[in-house]
């Protein structure tokens, strides 16, 4: 791709895709003006989106929401992952709904592995080195998880008082820059912030599956009282920090890899310690807020066909760890954006077509659920017009992470042309979606990973901007 980047002009590329003569002129009338391809591939700063990305107003992502219907999720009767499977049990026998059992059996029998064998006839399935790599990668997950207040068992956070210093003071803008630099130093790729306005609070679940509520109160500090989780009203900001999945290995989807989670847990410990050491609350919100929903509101991602996975114009579906922390640190919120992803997904069904379990929606955005079995038991969150994962079917593999058309990396010039052109006009969306396999950005034979040059620390450096 380096040679392509330095030798192919915009005009030659347009000719190459059949837009010469009058077609080229028509395309140029609506397409962005590039002086050269280096300009197209220049990376953007943290707080400055590329020119073709439009910022929207707070609480107004490209996801259409009916605020009269959308409300805090009740986990005792609601869905979201495993809970969704449990809501559709056979009441008389306590057995799983037949549709759920069918897809659980598919996962147990290795449908994702069989899918890769069908796609790549030479692939014989995971070898010992594949299993060893996957297990060794998660062997470092020994810190455990933070509790509600953001503290780790056995880890004492040194506070400002411990250092004979006062709590950090900074403007909201300075503080946003501070956490951005710190979190990126820890290993996060994108750091965004949404304010917990009355609308924003609706993204905080009402309770956990046992019924124990998350309550906003005029309290001095966050607390787990045993009967409730208390979120102080002064904790007004929800930080969303995104960590990448192994950008190279994920393309062997749906082969096993959980590096994004392992890496994210390390960053999580750093994040909580840092905020606590600066003197601020750091409530762990990953378990009671929706990752993709927060991503859309904070301006990390857009809602897309992949539903549970938010899609970024810069990183596609490669944000596997979407950390969420609620804090009282004064922060300047970041805005949702429109990069044309939600429009592109209408025509592009690459993730859905490549799902081994058929758990991705194929139709257009809907207020209801596309799946009859999920609609029958209302196994979805109501109040927004979008795409919804088929919870009955999805075993939480990672096929949709590795197949997104936007995954190409910042130096993959074709992806920058896709990003810019589709944000202006949708007429080429179908063509661009078809190019995913042609340019080799989709899934690969899992055995290939062992024979090519692997990027250091799992991440292709072209993604780290």
- Asked whether residue 66 falls in the same domain as residue 148, the answer is yes
- Asked whether residue 330 falls in the same domain as residue 437, the answer is yes
The answer to whether residue 17 is domain-embedded is yes
- Asked whether residue 213 falls in the same domain as residue 168, the answer is yes
Hey, what are 426's tokens? Answer: 């949708």
- Asked whether residue 313 falls in the same domain as residue 379, the answer is yes
| Dihedral, CA of residue 250, residue 256, residue 257 and residue 261, to nearest 10 | 120
- How many domains does the chain fold into? 2
The answer to whether residue 416 is domain-embedded is yes
Residue 36: the pLDDT is 45
The answer to whether residue 414 is domain-embedded is yes
Domain that holds residue 371: 54-463
- Asked whether residue 268 falls in the same domain as residue 416, the answer is yes
Q: How far apart are CA 4 and CA 427, in angstroms?
A: 24
- Asked whether residue 116 falls in the same domain as residue 256, the answer is yes
| CA-to-CA dists, residue 235 to 195, 212, 222, 239, 273, angstroms | 9, 20, 9, 11, 17
Residue 50: the pLDDT is 85
The answer to whether residue 36 is domain-embedded is no
- Asked whether residue 24 falls in the same domain as residue 166, the answer is no
- Asked whether residue 344 falls in the same domain as residue 309, the answer is yes
- Asked whether residue 361 falls in the same domain as residue 450, the answer is yes
The answer to whether residue 222 is domain-embedded is yes
pLDDT by residue, tens only, the chain of 465 residues: 333 344 444 454 444 444 444 444 444 444 444 444 344 333 333 567 888 899 999 999 999 999 999 999 998 876 544 444 434 433 333 455 565 566 667 766 777 788 888 888 898 888 877 777 777 666 656 667 899 999 998 888 999 999 999 999 999 999 998 999 999 889 899 999 999 999 999 999 999 989 999 999 999 999 999 999 999 999 999 999 999 888 777 776 555 567 788 889 889 999 999 999 999 999 999 999 999 999 999 999 999 999 888 999 888 898 989 999 999 999 999 999 999 888 889 888 888 988 888 888 999 999 999 988 788 878 788 999 999 988 778 877 777 888 888 886 654 544 666 666 666 566 655 655 555 555 555 666 777 767 766 665 666 666 665
- Asked whether residue 177 falls in the same domain as residue 261, the answer is yes
177: Cβ contacts below 8 Å, ≥ 6 apart: none
Question: Which ranges constitute the DSSP H helices of 70-212?
Answer: 82-86, 98-108, 111-119, 128-137, 172-186
Residue 310: the pLDDT is 92
The distance of Cα 12 from the centroid of its chain, to the nearest Å, equals 35
- Asked whether residue 297 falls in the same domain as residue 161, the answer is yes
Residue 243: the pLDDT is 92
The beta strands (E) that lie in 221-269 are given as: 223-224, 229-232, 237-244
The answer to whether residue 41 is domain-embedded is no
> How is residue 332 annotated by DSSP?
-
The answer to whether residue 246 is domain-embedded is yes
CA-closest candidate to residue 260, choices 248, 272, 270, 271: 248
Residue 227: the pLDDT is 97
The answer to whether residue 90 is domain-embedded is yes
Q: How far apart are CA 8 and CA 104, in angstroms?
A: 48
- Asked whether residue 20 falls in the same domain as residue 120, the answer is no
């Amino acid at each position: 791709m380096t040679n392509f980047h330095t030798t192919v002009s915009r005009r030659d590329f347009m000719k190459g895709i059949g837009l010469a003569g009058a077609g080229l002129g028509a395309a140029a009338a609506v397409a962005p003006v590039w002086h050269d391809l280096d300009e197209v591939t220049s990376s953007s700063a943290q707080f400055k989106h590329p020119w073709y990305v439009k910022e929207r107003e707070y609480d107004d992502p490209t996801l259409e929401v009916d605020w009269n219907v959308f409300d805090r999720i009740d986990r005792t009767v609601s869905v979201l992952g495993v809970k969704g499977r449990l809501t559709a049990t056979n009441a008389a026998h306590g057995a799983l709904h037949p549709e759920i059992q069918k897809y659980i059996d598919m996962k147990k029998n290795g449908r994702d592995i069989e899918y890769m064998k069908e796609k790549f006839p030479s692939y014989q399935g995971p070898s010992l080195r594949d299993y060893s790599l996957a297990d060794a990668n998660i062997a470092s997950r020994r810190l455990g998880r933070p509790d509600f207040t953001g503290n780790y068992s056995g880890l004492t956070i040194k506070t400002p008082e411990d250092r004979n210093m006062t709590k950090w003071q900074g403007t909201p803008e300075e503080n946003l820059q501070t956490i951005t630099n710190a979190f990126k130093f820890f290993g996060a790729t994108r750091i965004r912030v949404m304010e917990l306005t009355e609308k924003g609070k609706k993204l905080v679940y009402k309770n956990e599956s046992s019924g124990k509520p998350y309550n906003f109160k005029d309290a001095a500090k966050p607390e787990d009282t045993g009967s409730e989780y208390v979120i102080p009203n002064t904790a007004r900001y929800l930080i969303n920090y995104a960590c990448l999945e192994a950008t190279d290995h994920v393309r062997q989807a749906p082969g096993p890899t959980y590096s994004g989670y392992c890496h994210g847990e390390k960053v999580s410990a750093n994040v909580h310690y840092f905020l606590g050491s600066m003197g601020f609350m750091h409530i762990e919100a990953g378990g009671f807020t929706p990752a993709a929903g927060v991503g859309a509101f904070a301006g990390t991602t857009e809602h897309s066909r992949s539903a549970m996975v938010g899609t970024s114009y810069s990183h596609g579906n490669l944000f596997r760890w979407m950390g969420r922390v609620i804090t009282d640190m004064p922060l300047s919120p970041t805005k949702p954006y429109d990069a044309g992803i939600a429009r592109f997904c209408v025509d592009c069904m690459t993730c859905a077509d490549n799902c081994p379990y058929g758990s991705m929606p194929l139709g257009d955005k809907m207020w209801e659920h596309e799946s009859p079995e999920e609609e029958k038991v209302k196994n979805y969150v109501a109040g927004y017009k979008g795409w919804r994962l088929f919870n009955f079917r999805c075993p939480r593999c990672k096929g949709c992470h590795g197949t997104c058309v936007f995954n190409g990396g910042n130096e993959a010039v074709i992806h920058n042309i896709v990003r810019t052109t589709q944000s202006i006009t949708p007429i080429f969306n179908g063509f661009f979606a078809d190019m995913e396999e042609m340019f080799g950005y989709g899934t690969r034979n899992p055995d290939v990973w062992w024979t090519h040059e692997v990027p250091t620390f799992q991440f292709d450096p072209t993604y780290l901007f």
